[in-house]
Amino acid sequence: MINFFAENYLLIGEKLLEHLYISVVSLAMGIVVAVPLGILLSKYEKISNGVMGVASVLQTIPSFALLALMIPVFGVGKKTAIAALFIYSLLPILRNTFLGLTSVTPSAVDAAKGMGMEERQILTKVKIPLALPVIMSGIRLSAVYVLAWTTLAAYVGAGGLGDFIFNGLNNYVPPMILWGTIPITALALLTDHLFGRLEKRLSPYKGGE
């Protein structure tokens, strides 16, 4: 295992950077789309069930099937992987943004109105700050999912650490499998830890701090 790393550390680093690139771009796109959409749905709750239903259906499509559906549109490579992972990232962020905003207590909103705040100010200064921990929880969950699912990008020629795992399995090279699996596991744990700390830091209730 150590010998494999010594001989292939540059390739491991390259695959790690590819994995991170695909994951970060997919998650960033998910945040940019899902957070504003969640805010919009919190204002128009009548259509929220329909939109959430569509997002839930997309989430249930098997990963290989979704990747296959993307190939005619984007071809083989990183674009296909990013498009599929973007779709998978949406539901946790969208759901938590909606739940976070709609669960803000009416008394907090009434107090803001009593202070003369307009609707936009209530949203930006009251609702979003109070909902931020819940929103971050959704982003945290989505980030871990995306990091794990990026492994499948290898099947569409997008690279990443999945190349090591699948090539190692196909050729039965245990060190290759391990050096694909260990970094992904470490990345997922580190991401979960960092987002967890950020979630606590952004909470308006910091346990007496």
pLDDT for position 207: 46
CATH superfamily of 2-202: MetI-like (1.10.3720.10)
* Residue closest to 12 by CA, chosen among 191, 148, 189, 177: 177
Q: Tell me, what amino acid is at 36?
A: P
Q: 111-165: per-residue pLDDT in tens?
A: 988 888 888 899 988 999 899 999 999 999 999 999 999 998 898 989 899 999 9
How sure is the predictor about 206, in pLDDT bands with cuts at 50, 70 and 90? low
Q: Averaged over 57-70, what is the pLDDT?
A: 87
Residue with tokens 């945040």: 31
Q: Are 4 and 175 in contact (CB under 8 A)?
A: yes
Percent of the chain scoring above 70 in pLDDT: 97
pLDDT for position 208: 41
Per domain, the residue ranges of the chain are: 2-202
Average pLDDT along the chain: 89
Write down the H helix ranges in the chain: 2-43, 48-60, 63-74, 78-102, 106-114, 119-122, 128-149, 162-171, 174-202
How sure is the predictor about 45, in pLDDT bands with cuts at 50, 70 and 90? confident
Q: Tell me, what amino acid is at 30?
A: G
**Residue 164: partners with Cβ closer than 8 Å, 6 or more residues away:** 12, 15, 176, 177, 179, 180
